[in-house]
Amino acid sequence: MAGNIKGPAIFLAQFAGDAAPFNSFDSICKWAASLGYKGVQIPTWDGRMMDLKKAADSKTYCDELKGTAKKHGIEITELSCHLQGQLVAVNPVYDEAFDAFAPPEMRGNPKARQAWAENQVKMTAKASKNLGLNACVSFTGALCWPYLYSWPPRPSGLIEASFDELAKRWKPLLDVMDENGVDVGFEIHPGEDVMDGITFEMFLERLKGHKRCQINYDPSHFVLQQLDYLDFIDIYHERICAYHVKDAEFNPTGRQGVYSGFQPWVKRAGRFRSLGDGQVDFSAIFSKLAQYDYNSWAVLEWECCLKSSDQGAAEGAPFIASHLIQTTGKAFDDFAGGGVDNSAQIKRMLGI
């Protein structure tokens, strides 16, 4: 085996806030360490956690960030540019909703917002390099998502044109990532055009197999789609560079199924849950990832419609720790081995 899964780690996006200990990188690292976490994934859009431009321009600043984390026994696992990646490609129907992800001066100006987002992704590449990281995580954005269901019938070529454009926008960004030695783990996620394995393949094909186009594996989004999240690892393990440990459940009824009837989260058939409260078979997932030599971080992404974030975070670290697998360097039946292979012995045993 090439290595072991690292963890537990925690994505800070759902915890950063204006009150202590969630209002500074120093205090949130101390909090995370107190719960047993060994790593933190940083949302680059949150100035309380880091200054992205400064990190892209200054290795000294990045060394200071790493030092702040290290004094609490914490490592930085990856930088997240999910929100900026979302803004790389936005269908006009979502302009007003997604404007909230951009600075006020960019709102109402889709072209300026896209240019800002693309620059943010490029800065994430440079900041990741300055931090000594080889991967970041993001969304692809979406142009054809509003046309997911083919009624009314879609014009011929609409989906193809959408994925052509999506790849066209991401190719130069992935090239900048490559220049800085950084993979992009795209979170396969409804609301993005890249929402499952097939759409990832459509995207990757148009990128001509770009080596920096990778996957941030999150089984919760597959449970809600009723996609086989274990088979997904068998198929795409070579492209998985990051892992969000998030639980979910799907309980269809005679009233609702995958689409969940526009209900609030607590009333949906498909719901995100805190670790251990949903239906995801994490023992099988960690085993699969270990089988394929995944040796990066297992990062809690807490989202739950019932349990508090405090409880979810406190329970998350020991849950992940209990699933980490220290891969073996020997076969379990070595004790019963018959010694060194001998060609003459083998021939006798086979009768040849």
Question: Domain ranges in the chain?
Answer: 6-350
Match 């058939």 to its residue by tokens: 269
End-to-end CA, the chain: 35
Q: Residues 81-96: pLDDT tens digits?
A: 999 999 999 999 999 9
Quote the pLDDT of residue 16.
Answer: 97
Q: What is the pTM of this model?
A: 0.94
Q: Which residues pair with 216 in a beta bridge?
A: 187, 242
What is the C-alpha separation between 324 and 99, in angstroms, rounded? 39
Query: Which residues contact residue 40 at a Cβ distance below 8 angstroms, ignoring those fewer than 6 apart?
Result: 9, 10, 11, 12, 28, 29, 32, 69, 74, 75, 76, 77
- Which class would CATH give 6-350? alpha beta
Cβ contact 288:275 at 8 Å: no
What is the C-alpha separation between 245 and 283, in angstroms, rounded? 12
- Structural element, H or E, at residue 43: strand 39-43
Q: Which residues of the chain have pLDDT under 70?
A: 1-3, 331-341
